[in-house]
Chains A and B, each alone.
Chain A
Amino acid sequence: MAFEKYITEHERRTARALAMGGKERLEKQAALGRLNARQRIDYLFDPGSFIEIGRFARGEPRGDWDKTPADGKVTGYGRINGREAAVVSHDITVKSASSSPVNVRKMGHVRRTAIANGVPLVLLNESSGARIPDTMGAIGTGTLGQDPTQFIRMREIPYVAAVLGPAFGTACWFTQLSDFVVMRKDAQLAISSPKVTEIAIRQKIDPMELSGWRMQTEVTGKVDYGVDTDEEALDLLKSFLSYLPSHHNELPPRAAVPAGADEPAQALLELVPEDRAKVYDMRKVAAALCDPGSLFALKDRFAKAAFTALGRIDGRAVGILGSNPMFKAGALDADACDKACTFFVLCDSFNIPIVILADTPGFLIGVEGERRKAPGKVINMMSALQMCTVPKFSIVMRKSYGQAYLNMGGTRNTDEMLAWYCADVGFMDPNVGVNVVYGVKREEDPQRFEQLVEEIRRDSSAYDLAGIFSAVAVIDPRESRRWLARLLELHQRRLTKGIGKHLLSGWPTTF
């Protein structure tokens, strides 16, 4: 047969690459209930759509050539529900998927190709960090950093990451650069492993506290979801990408509208208590406004006084930010401002219109807030909102006070501000305002207190807001979805085909 020796040799090398770190290590990975790097790619991409690049790459030291198939990071391109994407899948069975000059070169090539061609980058992270001894010494360390664009994030394309095992070093850095992150509950995400950290700082480390999913979803807010299985993680990445365009010069895909989509909004009067002292869950309101089943929460366990999500209204992708009275009474704190900023950056970068639902007593003030730089965070959020060039809409629901009223899209800080007929707007809650302005406490002089509350409350209604044309309309809550659907239809930025200016695209990726 012609080319027989080449065919035989090619088949041998291919089989070696596909065998990854060998039977024993693959079995160990399976015993942990985890998919291996190639199974993850198979699950992620449409059948038969994956093309691998760098399959025959291997570690640079001659002694590693046969021990480092694909050099521990499987890279290439495939399709997710018919749409192209690029992938880096760390193979923990090959030298713990540690980062070496060769596999970092592979990652760089895939990343640059994804950006140049406008397709999302999917990072399946499981790596021990830098490869030792390859990166030791001046020669090892000095060989790194060959790509001066490696950590530039201009959000031309979405980056999404799944943390599926230990993720230290480069796997951690690219997780930080990502727009959306999911993490297995038994995975770890940190600068260095607990073992290295313990040695370095001579302190006993609790791995979960250093690098666990609750730390990352509740305290740092870097991770959007903690999950039990690889399949759940990969499904969430696919769901997230379904709301986004493939790149920043494209509109998000439009989905079909399920039957009966207008019905849940009719129940809004039951979901929101008339009494402003009573709380409710803003997530339920957002779900009622969106097409059924389309609400997709972001960072749901972090800074819960602010709720952020993607969703669809009449099949169009929207980003929803709501203050959530269920947590901290909906008073926005420093973390909530950070969360809102990140959310604005995402929406602005990928041409997703923003809907803001305001029901807030204001910003959470106090020593802790000042310590955490709350004033700077409030203004970051405000700047980010004003810099967004995507369509922006807001609804003042029951109340919105002070600077928080502006941060939540008050007056011209959104393109169209609607007010529910029960909305109350002022410099602060009237009950607090009486004490602040007049020094009168309810328990000392109830009659005078009530009189003054009424005085402060005067001119604070939705109709007063509409009277000076700050609210463009006063509406029945049940009309909210219909209004938003019409506004989305109108505000399509036709002169630029719906593509925004992306003024926030270079905003830092973490906070």
Chain B
Amino acid sequence: MARETIKAEITGNVWKIVAQVDQDLAEQETILIMESMKMEVPVLAPVKGRLKELLVKEGQDVSEGQDLAILET
């Protein structure tokens, strides 16, 4: 089991959290949706795994490179 930190690819605001902690995610499945560049930008699981931790809340501002979630792969 490896732990993978999911980082924000873009600066913006956490608009909606879609996945739940302990949920099994397929590759490319949506974890949360950010609002950035006036668009709703999904944050996807890069590989298959279980969502172990969510490190942000809805409404929170995040910077590019900031940790968003931890996936166990």
Question: Which residues of A are in contact with B by a Cβ distance under 8 Å?
Answer: 218, 276-279, 325-331, 361-362, 364, 366, 368, 429, 431-432
Q: Which residue of A lies closest to B64 (CB)?
A: A368
* Contact between chains at B40 and A278 (CB < 8 Å): yes
Partner of B42, one of A276, A279, A364: A279
Q: B-side binding surface: helix, strand, loop or mixed?
A: loop
Residues in A neighbouring B9, C-beta threshold 8 A = 327-328
Distance A364 CA – B39 CA, assembled complex (angstroms)? 13
CB distance from A275 to the nearest CB of B (A): 9
Interface string of B38-70 (1 = CB under 8 A from A): 111110001000000000000000001100000
Cα distance A326–B37 in the bound complex, in angstroms: 12
Q: Measured between C-beta atoms, what is the minimum distance from A281 to chain B in Å?
A: 9
The number of residues on chain B lying at the interface, defined by a beta carbon within 8 Å of a beta carbon of chain A, is 13
Identify 19 new A-B residue pairs, CB closer than 8 A, beyond the known A329-B38, A361-B38: A276-B38, A277-B38, A278-B39, A279-B39, A279-B42, A325-B39, A325-B41, A326-B41, A326-B42, A328-B9, A328-B10, A328-B41, A329-B36, A329-B39, A331-B10, A361-B39, A362-B37, A366-B11, A429-B38
Residue A331 contacts which of B37, B40, B42, B65 (CB distance < 8 angstroms)? B37
Q: Is B10 a contact partner of A329 (Cβ separation < 8 A)? A: yes
Residues of B close to A326: CB separation below 8 A? 41-42
Contacts A328-B9, A331-B10; A366 near B64 (Cβ below 8 A):
yes
Interface of A is mostly: loop
A-B contact pairs, 11 of them (CB 8 A): A276-B38, A277-B39, A277-B40, A279-B40, A326-B41, A327-B41, A329-B38, A329-B39, A361-B39, A362-B37, A429-B38
- Within the complex, the shortest CB–CB distance from B73 to chain A, in Å, comes to 11
Quote the shortest CB–CB distance from A498 to chain B (angstroms). Answer: 37
Contact with A along B14-55 (1 / 0, CB 8 A): 000000000000000000000011111110001000000000
Complex-state Cα separation, A483 to B47, whole angstroms: 37
Q: Quick one: which of B37, B46, B64, B65 contacts A329, CB cutoff 8 A?
A: B37
Question: Is the beta-carbon distance between A432 and B39 smaller than 8 angstroms?
Answer: no
- Min Cβ gap B18→A in Å is 13
Contact partners of A277 in chain B: CB under 8 A: 38-40
